[in-house]
Structure 1
Amino acid sequence: MAHALGFTDEDLRRLAGSRSYERGLGYLSAVSRLEIEETAITATVDGTDAYEVELTEREDGGLTGWCDCPYGQEGNFCKHCVAVGLVVLGQAASVPRQRASAARRTKVLTAWLESRTREELLALLCEHLADDRDLRHRLELRAATAGEDSGIVRERILSLLDTRPFARYGYVEYADAHAYGQQASEAATALRALTTSGRAADAVEVAREALATLGRTYGEIDDSDGLVGEVAAGLAEAHLEACRTARPDPVGTADWLVNHLLDGLNDATDIDLFDYHEVLGEPGLARARELVVAAWRAKPKGWAEKYLMERLLKADGGSVDALVAVHAADLAPNGHTHLVIAKELATAGRPAEALEWAERGLRETESEWGPDGELVAFVCERYARSGRLADVVTLRRDLLRARPTLAAYQELRTAARTVGTWQASERKSAREVLRAVGTPKTGRWYDGSVLVDALMDDGAFDTAWQAAVDGYADQRQWLALADRIRDRRPADALTVYLRWIEPMRKQTGDATYERMTELLLSARACHRTLGTEAKFSTYLTSLRADQKRKRKLMAMLDQHGL
């Protein structure tokens, strides 16, 4: 049943995954300051800290969630989002009334503002300007772009791009990048306003300085969401628009563009030299070609030099052999450059040479991490296309022996199943490779073996359990295995949970308390399956008595009904 909300309990489970969903059930009583607006739902959830949560229903009927907890900041629909969603579902009948109330409040505010006189609105705005420095600066910028003082515009635009107010320890962290991006986005708006107000030449100069400023600081910003990258792209677009209007000196523009692209400041903006072909004209393009060729000849292994030379050849219709020569001047040790060359040759209709270059890349790989994964896939795809399936298996087998990883094991399994040799022979030998690499260590805590991961990936949980008993598992793998076998072998899973709970009795800290709570919930689930809940109650009573001085832990246990 979808209620009036557009999302259901099952939607929350699907978005979060079963584990986060189950954890969210324990946080219902921790939800506070719930506000249901017309399209968004906000709340605070008390966990290790007080986390801010926002749920938004999209126009297509989907639901998105944001939370400022560490897991949520990685883009995940976390347990706190689940808790807020469940609380809202619990009062679904009242949601239409709450949304109607929010709409009425918005309507009342709009009507009230529309009824104010110019003088009253001005007084209200001035009142807020006195308390809100950021708003004052933004409005000062808009006023300057409408006037004649370009100096003020430059000063304000550069101040919008200043990261210092948002930087902690000299770095703009993820939690602060969004606020910085929102402020910085005003800079592109101001540059466009400068252009449309008849001062495009000024906009060109200020935009160049702004691009350089952001280029220098972009590496000090955690732009995981890409918001600051969008700001940089907006600055680049504003610069191009200003150039198209002002028509600055083409040769001077070419000098600036090539220097900008070569000095490493283009990581954020991603400016393409040939977007400026109308602005540069033939004189500017000729100057750009001259500079690019000279730069590549002086530094053929430079990334920016290679990229620009490649773009130049493609834009001018250069030969494939010329492109190959550019790339061959600096071959990456993992074979990636060989792959680039192979793709160029394949596109040019020269498949035999393409495969030769790709196979050469496999032979010449010098990286400790093995050959580039895309290069391997390229060769395997060409082998499969020509019916050389046994060669695919051989290649995958050799790669597993050279670099025994879970991914290599999975790729070999897929290839061997295609030719029907996985169950017959390949699986046993592949597992022996992993067993030989992951030598058991008594008391292993970190760096568990690929063997256990591979066995779990195969669904061979009993074999994985024995490998863990033999010493091939670390803590992460023991717990992952316990979660997998909990329904079938609750007694074995229970021993794992209790084993990792015990050392936590002597530890402190919110993260420890949260982890202990999760393990206790898992232990309780095992006892329920075994029908020994009374035994768990006795254990829990003893643990609470032993840990009673840890008030934060006691509060967490209470929250989860433990």
Structure 2
Amino acid sequence: MVQTPGRALLKSGAVTRFDVAVLRDAVGEKAFERGHAYHLDGRVEIIAIDEARVVARVVGTDVYRCEVKGQGRTLSGNCTCRAYGDWGSCKHMAATALAANSLEPAAAEHASSRLDKIRNHLRAKGVENLVEMILQLAEKDTKLFEQLGLSAELDTGDETTLLAGFKKAITDATRVRGYIEYRDMRDWTRSIDGVLDRISGLLEGGRASLVLELLDHFFARMDDALTKVDDSDGGGGACYVRACEIHVSACEKSGPDPIELARTLFAREVDSDSDFFFGASETYADILGEAGLAEYRKLATMAWQKVKSRRGRGAETRRAREYAIRTMLERFAERDNDIDAIIAIRSNDLSSAGDYLGIAQVCLDDGREQEALKWAEEGLWKFEDDPDRRLVLFACDLLGRNGRNEDVDRLLWRMFSREPSVELYQRLKSTARDRKQQSLVRDGALTVLNDRAAKSGPQTEWVWLRAADILVRVLMLEGLLADAWAAVGKHGCREDLMEELARASEPDLPAEALKAYAYLVERKVRMGGQANYGSAHALIKRMRRLDGAAQHSTYLADLMMRHKAKRNFIKLLTSKPS
């Protein structure tokens, strides 16, 4: 029998610091096995260990700093590798924890005192010797050299020298040569974070005005850089957000001219391809004050006057700049509680049914029900060839409140005929006044769905709810399970819906349920994978409750014979009673 790494460790006689089962679950089976291999290969060097944490250098593709915190069943940590940044765990954490578990008492004592020995050694060197040691290291490490240089400028340099030095650091950190792929982004953002750390230090040192000037340079560089990198995990954006937070703090401390600040923020909000300064008038409201907000509003109003009104289907797609300006003016109107101004702003762009719905909702929220209905009906008329479901339902609610039930029925049936859904069917049923009318609604809906299902073609995994699926669900809602199975036989349906129908059919139509379960088991086993095997096993257990013992045994024997090559599936079937 092959001994698992966890069992080997537990039998070694070593003191187990971390629970191996918890560790395996935390990092995943694959990462655990690879971490165990790293540990056995001697790739882990424990730098420090105490009751709270274990710190190690782990040699992999690169040399990584890994920290694992806690003990027993309590486990957390971090690592400088890319996998930790993506998943929050990695093989290096497993390797470090397993190395800590395997430490003998003497080795653990040595590791726990290692940092203290180094600390005492450095103290004994004296200041001059330490200075020389650090300078020698800095000559070999450009990032350390740059960091020490900037720190020295903070103590001795004038404003001009500091500005030049920090601008160079920003330029170097944000430089993109060609294109930065996803796998290289973490190193790039780590360098930027280091520069932001030092800029934040300037702020704490009372140089807020200098920080604002530096961040102007930073934002210009990042606006360009983010177009040349794969920022799928958002690391570059997170750096930008952090810089924005530093910018707000610097403005609070320096008290810049509110008019100039308003102009700067307005330009960033409307001209940037990103939305990091979106809503700046709100974020900086206290700093801008009345004068700055007035300037902001004036700039937005002047820009808005240049935006052409757009109505109807042929209007061009709204640009981000126009959306930003419109949103600014709406925020100012909301601050004044000026609903008419909001409606006027939104009326400038009525190129979609959703635009009409937005205005109608604003009216309704302000208690203007009839005005809301007017806007909704106008939107329905303008886009009658391509109705918006949300606008239809909104209008139906208001029409119902006003006793216009025939108009409600007309709109709902028209929408259901174009885009049937279970929700619309339930709305139609709810408007029926008696059982007779409910029957008419059911029959009419089933006719529409049967016609559409016949024309929709074969079922595909890429379509979520086609007419056949909706037909089956409506029949299930009506308790017509035999008809639902007939529809499945004629048009097909999604497998999750088939399983739901089978469960509902167990009491009254067990033969149909058994047939469906057998089909689904076969599908899942053929697809393979532990998740599919587990689902198939659960269905087989449901089948056992419906089937006779002898018949179920025959079914199982046949299933296991046909899929005997699927070892994990067979193991699952034989490990527990099925």
TM-score, structure 1 as length reference: 0.62
**Residues 160-189 of structure 1 deviation map (CA, whole Å, 9 limit, x = unaligned):** 778999975xx58xxx99999999777765
CA contact (8 A) 1:416 1:422 kept: no
**Correspondence for 1:433 among 441, 445, 448:** 448
Partner of 1:304 in structure 2? 321
* Alpha-carbon distance in 1 for matches of 2:455, 2:425: 20
Partner of 1:365 in structure 2? 383
* Alpha-carbon distance in 2 for matches of 1:444, 1:156: 58
* Alpha-carbon distance in 2 for matches of 1:31, 1:388: 71
Partner of 2:486 in structure 1? 466
* Alpha-carbon distance in 2 for matches of 1:475, 1:381: 35
Change (3 A) 1:289 1:497: same
Partner of 1:524 in structure 2? 540
Partner of 2:361 in structure 1? 343
Partner of 1:558 in structure 2? 571
Which structure 1 segments of 5+ residues have no match? 1-28, 53-74, 76-105
Partner of 2:267 in structure 1? 259
CA contact (8 A) 2:360 2:376 kept: yes
Partner of 1:204 in structure 2? 212
SS in 2 for 1:404: coil
Shift of residue 286, structure 1, vs aligned partner: 5.4
**Residues 340-393 of structure 1 deviation map (CA, whole Å, 9 limit, x = unaligned):** 22233345553322221122122222685x3152x3443344345445566545
Change (3 A) 1:213 1:469: farther
**Residues 484-539 of structure 1 deviation map (CA, whole Å, 9 limit, x = unaligned):** 5457655434433544666788x7xxx64446524642452244121333223322
Letter matched to residue 369 of structure 2: P
* Alpha-carbon distance in 1 for matches of 2:432, 2:186: 47
Partner of 2:314 in structure 1? none
Higher relative contact order (CA 8 A, sep 6+): 1
CA contact (8 A) 1:250 1:279 kept: yes
Matches within 5 A, 1:441-456: 444-446=459-461, 447=463, 448=466, 449=468, 450-456=470-476
SS in 1 for 2:206: coil
Which structure 2 segments of 5+ residues have no match? 10-16, 36-86, 88-107, 309-317
Partner of 1:240 in structure 2? 248
* Alpha-carbon distance in 2 for matches of 1:391, 1:179: 62
* Alpha-carbon distance in 1 for matches of 2:195, 2:406: 58
Shift of residue 561, structure 1, vs aligned partner: 4.5
**Correspondence for 2:560 among 517, 521, 541:** 541
Partner of 1:99 in structure 2? none
Shift of residue 418, structure 1, vs aligned partner: 8.5
Change (3 A) 1:299 1:341: same
**Correspondence for 1:324 among 333, 340, 343:** 343
Partner of 1:15 in structure 2? none
Partner of 2:38 in structure 1? none
Structure (1 or 2) with the larger CA radius of gyration: 2
* Alpha-carbon distance in 1 for matches of 2:475, 2:31: 34
Identity %: 22
Matches within 5 A, 1:508-519: 512-514=528-530, 517-518=533-534
CA contact (8 A) 1:250 1:284 kept: yes
CA contact (8 A) 2:409 2:428 kept: yes
* Alpha-carbon distance in 1 for matches of 2:331, 2:516: 60
* Alpha-carbon distance in 2 for matches of 1:420, 1:177: 64
- 2:296 aligned with 1:288: yes
Letter matched to residue 353 of structure 1: E
Q: Which moved more, 1:520-529 or 1:495-504?
A: 495-504
CA contact (8 A) 1:292 1:305 kept: no
* Alpha-carbon distance in 2 for matches of 1:297, 1:376: 32
* Alpha-carbon distance in 2 for matches of 1:178, 1:459: 56
* Alpha-carbon distance in 2 for matches of 1:49, 1:432: 57
Shift of residue 469, structure 1, vs aligned partner: 1.0
* Alpha-carbon distance in 1 for matches of 2:376, 2:151: 59
* Alpha-carbon distance in 2 for matches of 1:155, 1:42: 46
Partner of 1:379 in structure 2? 395
**Correspondence for 1:315 among 314, 332, 339:** 332
Change (3 A) 1:516 1:208: same
Change (3 A) 1:388 1:309: same
TM-score, structure 2 as length reference: 0.61
Change (3 A) 1:270 1:422: farther
